[in-house]
Structure 1
Amino acid sequence: MARLAIGSGIRALASLLAVSLGAFLLIALMPADPVMIAIRAWNLAPTEETVAALRENWGLDRSLPERYVIWLTGFVAGDWGLSFRTGEPVLTEFLRRLPLSVGVGVSGLLLAIALSVPLGLAAAQRPGGFADRFSRLIAISVQAVPAFWIGLVAIWLLGVHLQIVRPFSGGPSIVAIATAIIALHSMGVLSRVYRKDMLEQASRPHFRTALAKGLSRHQALWHHCHRSAFFALLAAVRSEAGWVIGSTATLEVLFGLPGISQFLVQSIAVRDYHVLIAYVMVVAGWMLLMNAILQFAMRRLDPRHA
């Protein structure tokens, strides 16, 4: 186990290093000069002295390798640089906004898992029944309808028609709606994965033996199929974790939630290097962390190790 953990840690660090290098080069080579964008935004005189001072202050007068090494060293030490747009430390800006983004994404994913298990169990208990058709309808609908469209419908229905929420207030009710939309999108897919593995296990001899011993179908499914089905569900969550990032970003912009994705959108226009790179690294770290957590849980639930 220790050797596996060390190997996984080395691979994770190598992945983060590769992501950091690729992101740095891609963002650094983007067209347009952030110094000139800042000068126009701040209504400064575009003199040679002003341009040179800004480039030196932001480290843009150095070569790309030097800039990368300086940035990487500072990033590891907790110095993520200053935002060109706000003038505040990027780490401070992210720490202020990250709890909201992580809270919406993780809460939506956990809620989807919690709802997928009973829905998938009910669908497997009576294939072709109401729960089975309902889970199939959700799975198909959310694949065909993007999250932002559901968000727009929620704004119109709850904010304009019923007037029970303020659509762009960023309050608890808006956070709850965003979380529910993410959960709804993931719940359909995860419940079908759970149901499918349940039915596969139900076709095996050990399930028929459990029925012969007097267990009901519901009891036999839960006691003899749940572990394997939940293992399959967690495997599907690994792919859903990436989707949740994009959906959370979309809903933050749509609902005006002050998360890191909204901050990113505001920073793109001025090519705020440090913010853009930090966002890529946070997303990469999120994916690696989720992958590590799910790998650990899947090893504990693996039927071969039961």
Structure 2
Amino acid sequence: MNLVRFGIRSLTGLFAVSLASFAIITMMPADPVSIAIRVWNLPATDETVAALRVQWGLDQPLLPRYFRWLANFVTGDWGRSFRTGESVIAEFVERLPVSLSLGMAGLALAIVLAIPLGFFAAAYPRGLADRFSRALSVFVQAVPGFWLGLVLHWVLGVQLRWIRPFANDWTAIVLPVLLVALHSVAVLARVYRRDLTETAAQPHFRTALAKGLSERQALWRHGHRGAIYALLAAVRSEAGWVIGSTATMEILFGLPGISQFLVQSIAARDQMVLQAYVMVIAVWMLIVNGGAYLAMRLLDPRLA
């Protein structure tokens, strides 16, 4: 039953996001017809302007335009870019693998690294792992990702030549993935550590120690499951940060993802691209939330 409610809430949220974003983007202080005429070098005649407005539905009120756009969007017709004249869905399909691989790899790497870091930070309070995770958490909050990316690009790519950031192979994405994961590693490790520390203060943990388990064994057996639950809950909020980090890395390293395409489209007030980007991001958040929710259900059957 919870799954049904989750699905209904998700669809309702997508509908609300699509309507709000469509209204805001439509009210932007720019005329897409004027922009298209200028970019495509079309004659600025009354007939041309009227034809484009009818073709794009700009001659209709807001709600009929929205429902027409929504019906087309659901059936795979995302319109044409005012800037390039190409199909928006074709542009996104071409660029989406870069963004998805960067964001998903960064988030997955963060989870993999956060578990051992958080575990040893909890097992050895005020030890090296605990101090490192705390320092890393402060560092990523204080240092902008784009600045750190520029510094690492210069050190690792120019001075040491360990990587080739702008090469047309897999090495071009190594540093961006690490930078996307960096912030989430710090946050998730501290969340994981905090939950393990709370477990260590419970009576059943002291009972496990009295039965002969070492502190690390007791933490893993009796605290890991609950700590993973807390970590997955944090992943749902970190997914939003990953979007911003992915966009920054795409622009910084010249990766041809959808965020770079979006930045190029903002100046042209390319409404179709902006609306499609909002919906893609909303679906990304829905997928991450859904995946985390299903994993949390496996850990805690009471959610079923």
Say which is worse superposed, 131-140 or 82-91, in terms of deviation: 82-91
Contact 1:170/1:255 (<8 A) preserved: no
Task: Determine the C-alpha separation between the residues in 1 that align with 2:96 and 2:118.
Answer: 32
Q: Residue 134 in 1 paired to residue 132 in 2?
A: yes
Contact 2:35/2:82 (<8 A) preserved: no
- 2:209 aligns to what? 211
SS at match of 1:32: coil
Q: Structure 1 residue 116: deviation in Å? A: 0.7
Which structure 1 segments of 5+ residues have no match? none
RMSD: 1.6
Match of 2:250 among 233, 252, 266: 252
Kindly report which structure 2 residues correspond to 1:3-152, keeping only aligned pairs within 5 A, or say none. 3-152=1-150
Task: Determine the C-alpha separation between the residues in 2 that align with 1:71 and 1:151.
Answer: 38
Q: Structure 1 residue 167: deviation in Å? A: 3.8
Kindly report which structure 2 residues correspond to 1:114-263, keeping only aligned pairs within 5 A, or say none. 114-169=112-167, 171-263=169-261
SS at match of 2:262: helix
Q: Which amino acid aligns with 1:296?
A: L
Distance 1:241 1:270, change over 3 A: same
- 2:280 aligns to what? 282
Say which is worse superposed, 60-69 or 163-172, in terms of deviation: 163-172
Task: Determine the C-alpha separation between the residues in 2 that align with 1:149 and 1:251.
Answer: 11
Residue by residue over 1:72-127, the C-alpha shift from the partner in whole angstroms, topping out at 9 and shown as x without a partner, is 11111111111122222211211111121111111111111111111111111110
Contact 2:232/2:296 (<8 A) preserved: yes
Q: Structure 1 residue 156: deviation in Å? A: 1.5
Q: TM-score, normalised to structure 2's length? A: 0.95
Distance 1:17 1:202, change over 3 A: same
Task: Determine the C-alpha separation between the residues in 2 that align with 1:164 and 1:196.
Answer: 36
Which structure 2 segments of 5+ residues have no match? none
Contact 2:165/2:175 (<8 A) preserved: no
Residue by residue over 1:134-171, the C-alpha shift from the partner in whole angstroms, topping out at 9 and shown as x without a partner, is 11111110111121111111222123323444444464
Q: TM-score, normalised to structure 1's length? A: 0.94
Task: Determine the C-alpha separation between the residues in 1 that align with 2:113 and 2:162.
Answer: 25
SS at match of 1:35: helix
Contact 1:90/1:275 (<8 A) preserved: yes
Q: Structure 1 residue 69: deviation in Å? A: 1.3
Task: Determine the C-alpha separation between the residues in 1 that align with 2:301 and 2:119.
Answer: 18
Contact 2:165/2:173 (<8 A) preserved: no
Task: Determine the C-alpha separation between the residues in 1 that align with 2:250 and 2:167.
Answer: 11
Contact 1:112/1:184 (<8 A) preserved: yes
Task: Determine the C-alpha separation between the residues in 1 that align with 2:193 and 2:152.
Answer: 29
Q: Structure 1 residue 174: deviation in Å? A: 2.4
SS at match of 1:86: coil
Q: Structure 1 residue 220: deviation in Å? A: 1.0
Q: Structure 1 residue 194: deviation in Å? A: 0.7
Task: Determine the C-alpha separation between the residues in 2 that align with 1:304 and 1:68.
Answer: 40
Task: Determine the C-alpha separation between the residues in 2 that align with 1:169 and 1:234.
Answer: 34
